[in-house]
Every structure is written in structure tokens, then in C-alpha cells.
Amino acid sequence: MAVLEELQNDGMDLDKVVVLSGVGNHAKIVDYININSFNTIHGRALPPATAIKLADPDMKVICFVGDGDSYAEGLEHLLFAAKRNVDMTVVVHDNRTYALATGQFTPTSQQSFKGGTMPEGAKEAPFNPLSLMLASGATFIARGYPVKKQHFRALLKEAVLHRGFSFIDTLQVCVTFNNLYQAYNNNVVETTAADPQNADEAAAIIGAWDYESTDRPIAIGKFYEIQKPCYEDRFVAFRPEPSDRTSMIDDLLKRFI
């Protein structure tokens, strides 16, 4: 991953980075990069990510999840990780369909989408995940479109470097079941918030697109960023020294030998 190479060149120790994935087309990413990784079950990437951060606060934790994976099965974990402001980066590969399961609709599928479970189109409107993240307490909120490579790379690097819960809804495309390339190519607009700390401005930018219309401007960029204490900071009194931590791990491993 080019962003990790850049971060390494900037002095980040990649041995102190761990990447987690859920279940979906995105999940193979842990097999494609030579870095500490953990593949979880459907919708459950964030609980072990939180545990890793609590066990070793010096780790940089990055979660790659999908829209069905995190906005349906794992929504409660996403909301609570944002509420707690756990220091992790969550990148949602939002192709707006259960592509791995051959085309069912997800919470961000547009109503015109016709999938295996809704052959006549969805009967419910999609929700806006960025609005949920803003209401839940995320401290970095963005939307990206990987076709805009340089823009997305810069956005991802900024999210990883942010201390706190950083969230990027990534407009991926499933060319087989929900091909939105033309809509995105025609409508995405790189947008910069005048004041990234202003929640009202962020809400206005985020709410300008409802995830339903495919013929109106779609803002991409960082819309919100603030600094707040992180969840793991509150556990400092219970944190063992590195030498003690190694001993504890050794003792735990001996139980399984």
C-alpha cells in the first residue's frame, strides 16, 4: 500500500501497525499487504481492533470493512467505537451491495438498485453513514473516491495520522451488481470544509447528498476533524509495563501448549 510506504518513509514503524478486515470483497486486503493483520468474522472487525488498542496503545490500528459488513451486521460496533473515540482508522469499502453474496441490497443501496433480495428495487431509503458518525462522536469524518487516486491517498494518510476515531466512507464500485462508475465520475466534487471543527458546516456538507440520487453533486474530502481524549487513555492506570506485558503474553501462550 503506497500510503504505508509513505508513512514508513516519514518514520512510522510498520511493525507497530496492524490491519484488520471483516467479511466481504474488501477482506482479501490483509493477504495483499505484508504487514501485521487479522481477518475477523462478518461485522466484527472493530471489537478486536479496540482490544488491540487497549492492549498496546502504541499500535496504529487500521480497519478495512464493507458497507454490509459494518453498516448492517456490525453497525453497533461502529457506533460505539466512534462514541468512545477509540484511536483507529476505519475505511469502509462502500459498494452499496452485498457483492460477495451476489447482489443483495445494503443500508446504503439506492432504491433504484435491484438486487437478489429486492428484484423490484429496495423498499426503503438508504441512510447517510457520515451523518451517523457525526452524531455518534467520530473525530475525523471523510468521504473518498479511489478513482481520484492522489486525493484519496492524501485523505487516507491524514486519517491514519489522526489521533482518535477516523472514518472514511469510500465510494467503491461493484461493476457486476451495482455499477455506479458513471454517476460517480460525473458528480463527485472535491470539497474542503472552511472550518473542519464546525459540526454544523460538516452536517451541511454531509447532508447535501442523501445516498439516493445519482445525478447531483457528491462531495468527497475531509468534512470534520476535532481533537478529544481517546478511549484507551482512560485505562492508563491498568496498563502493564512493556516487560510485564511480554511476561503476561508468555504465560498465556503456555496455557495452549
- Please report the pLDDT score of residue 101 as a whole number: 77
pLDDT score of 238:
59
Structural contact between residues 49 and 39, judged by C-beta atoms closer than 8 angstroms: no
The pLDDT value given to residue 145: 97
Whether 17 and 53 have beta carbons less than 8 Å apart is answered as no
pLDDT of residue 114: 84
Predicted local confidence at residue 118, as pLDDT: 79
pLDDT digit string, tens, across residues 120-169:
888 889 999 999 999 999 999 999 999 999 999 999 999 999 999 999 99
pLDDT of residue 241: 66
What are the chain's domains?
2-230 (3.40.50.970)
pLDDT for 226:
98
Instruction: Say which residues have a Cβ less than 8 Å from residue 78's Cβ, sequence separation at least 6.
Output: 46, 65, 70, 71, 90, 132, 133, 136
Task: Look at residue 31 in the predicted model and tell me its pLDDT.
Answer: 82
pLDDT at res. 122: 81
Interacting residues of 33 by C-beta distance below 8 A, sequence separation 6+: 1, 4, 19
The pLDDT, as a whole number, for residue 1 is 64
Q: What is the pLDDT along the chain (257 residues), one digit of tens a residue?
A: 677 777 777 788 888 999 999 888 787 888 888 888 888 888 899 999 999 999 889 999 999 999 989 999 899 999 999 999 999 999 999 999 888 778 788 999 998 888 877 788 888 899 999 999 999 999 999 999 999 999 999 999 999 999 999 999 999 998 998 899 999 999 999 999 999 999 999 999 999 999 998 889 999 999 999 999 999 988 876 566 666 666 766 777 777 76
Q: Which spans in 58-105 are helix H?
A: 67-68, 75-84
Question: Does an H or E element contain 152, and which?
Answer: helix 149-161
Give the Cα-Cα-Cα angle 127, 64, 201 (nearest 5 degrees). Answer: 45
Predicted pLDDT at 41: 85
| pLDDT score at 115 | 80
Task: Return d(Cα 248, Cα 201) in angstroms, integer.
Answer: 47
* Predicted pLDDT of residue 117: 77
